[in-house]
Amino acid sequence: MTDVAGHKETDEITGTETTGHEWDGIKELNTPLPRWWLWTFYACIAWAVVYWIAMPAWPLVSSHTKGVLGYASRAVVDQRLAAARAAQSVFVARINAASLGEIRQDPELLAFAIAGGRSAFAVNCSQCHGRGAAGSPGFANLNDDAWLWGGTLDDIHQTITYGIRSDHEETRVGDMPAFVRDEILTRDQVGDVAEYVLSLSGRSADPAAAGRGAAIFAEQCVACHQEGGVGNREVGAPNLSDSIWLYGGDKATIVETVSNGRGGVMPAWTGRLDPTTIKQLAVYVHSLGGGE
């Protein structure tokens, strides 16, 4: 602080200049910044200027300054991905060369396939089948031991590769007709069939209706679902005598299924995923607990 005559005011005790600010008789000292602090500050400024020149720094209208060192974080990611792929290449080659059964017998390959399958499942399959592959009505639970199209490694592999009712010519195809909509059966007949289907897993509430339904079942349903409703994997016809229901096992849902049919679609993944990934997915799904 300088007064009118240009004299600086100093504090008597410390000999330091004051800022001239005063509160209730207490004056603020104008203590200079510590030298080390100041030099660190200047060094930071110098560092910043060097950084602007060396590294990508300033945004431009449609781009940014690139920096003379040529660093780009995207290139680093690419490098790391390439390094990761190179590190995996030995295993990928072994997965490609091995059969599904061989992968399952080799603990190292099994671990690699399950890890790769898990991440591919999360990206491509979990949208329908759920993060834990527990499914939801219409989308199969892959953890259990009921398989519409078979639960061996090869069955699972084929399902993933070509899909179910997909647009691939090798696709698995099965057709549950819409018995009421297509006027094959009446609503009463469908009610009787539903009672019979319930009785297959020991749950019928109306033995008389179930008896009537048995006759209709023998005529209309046995071709696919087989005697006793045990199902047929050739055409994807589910086992009706077990505890597992893709769309639901209560009477209303069974009536709905028989009346209007079902035709869920699983896309073909060949061409969308590479063969290695599909193999890993098959091993992973098989390992979830229901694999045969």
Partner 1 sequence: MDQPATSELGAGAPTAAHGVARVDVRAVNKKEHRSAYQKRLKIFPKKARGGFRRLKWGIMALTLSAYYLAPWLRWDRGPSAPDQAILLDIPARRFYFFFIEIWPQEIYYLTGLLILAAFGLFLATSLFGRVWCGYTCPQTVWTDLFIAVERMVEGDRGARMRLDKAPWSATKIGKRVVKHGIWLIIAMMTGGAWVFYFADAPSLLGELVTLQAPPIAYIAIGVLTFTTYILGGLAREQVCIYMCPWPRIQAAMVDVDSMIVTYRGYRGEPRGPHRKGEPWEGRGDCIDCNNCVAVCPTGIDIRDGSQLECINCGLCVDACNDVMDRIHRPRGLIAYDTFANVERRASGKSARVKLLRARPLIYAGSMVAVAAVMVFGLSTRATLDVNVLRDRNPLFVTLSDGSIRNGYTVKIINKQHERRTYRLTVEGLPGHRVRVVGRDGAGAPMLPVPADRLASYRVLVSAPVDVLKGQSTPIVFLLTDTAGGTRVSYDAVFRGPGG
Binding residues for partner 1 (CB under 8 A): 14-16, 104, 107, 110, 130-134, 141, 143-146, 239, 242-244, 287-290
Question: Which among 178, 190, 182, 198 has a CA at the least distance from the CA of 249?
Answer: 198
Cβ proximity to partner 1: between 163 and 290 the closer is 290
Query: What whole-number distance in Å separates Cα of residue 149 and Cα of residue 132?
Result: 20
Shortest distance, position 134 Cβ to partner 1, whole Å? 4
Phi-psi region of 67 (alpha: psi -120 to 50; beta: other; left: phi over 0): left
Helix or strand (DSSP H, E) at 19: strand 18-23
Cβ proximity to partner 1: between 108 and 182 the closer is 108
Query: What whole-number distance in Å separates Cα of residue 111 and Cα of residue 105?
Result: 11
Residue 30, C-beta contacts closer than 8 angstroms, at least 6 positions apart: 1, 16, 17, 18, 19
Shortest distance, position 287 Cβ to partner 1, whole Å? 5
Shortest distance, position 212 Cβ to partner 1, whole Å? 27
Shortest distance, position 148 Cβ to partner 1, whole Å? 12
Cβ proximity to partner 1: between 178 and 230 the closer is 230
Cβ proximity to partner 1: between 60 and 87 the closer is 87
Query: Rounded to the nearest 5 degrees, what angle is found at the Cα of 24, between the Cα atoms of 21 and 30?
Result: 30
| Residue 17 and residue 10 in contact, taking contact as beta carbons nearer than 8 Å | yes
Shortest distance, position 288 Cβ to partner 1, whole Å? 8
Shortest distance, position 55 Cβ to partner 1, whole Å? 20
Cβ proximity to partner 1: between 147 and 162 the closer is 147
Bridge partners of 27?
22
Cβ proximity to partner 1: between 120 and 268 the closer is 120
- The single residue listed with the structure tokens 């040529």 is 70
Cβ proximity to partner 1: between 201 and 260 the closer is 201
Do β-strands 26-29 and 18-23 pair in parallel, antiparallel, or remain unpaired? antiparallel
Grouping H, G, I as helix, E, B as strand and the rest as coil, residue 234 is coil
Residue 258, C-beta contacts closer than 8 angstroms, at least 6 positions apart: 179, 180, 185, 190, 193, 194, 197
Shortest distance, position 118 Cβ to partner 1, whole Å? 11
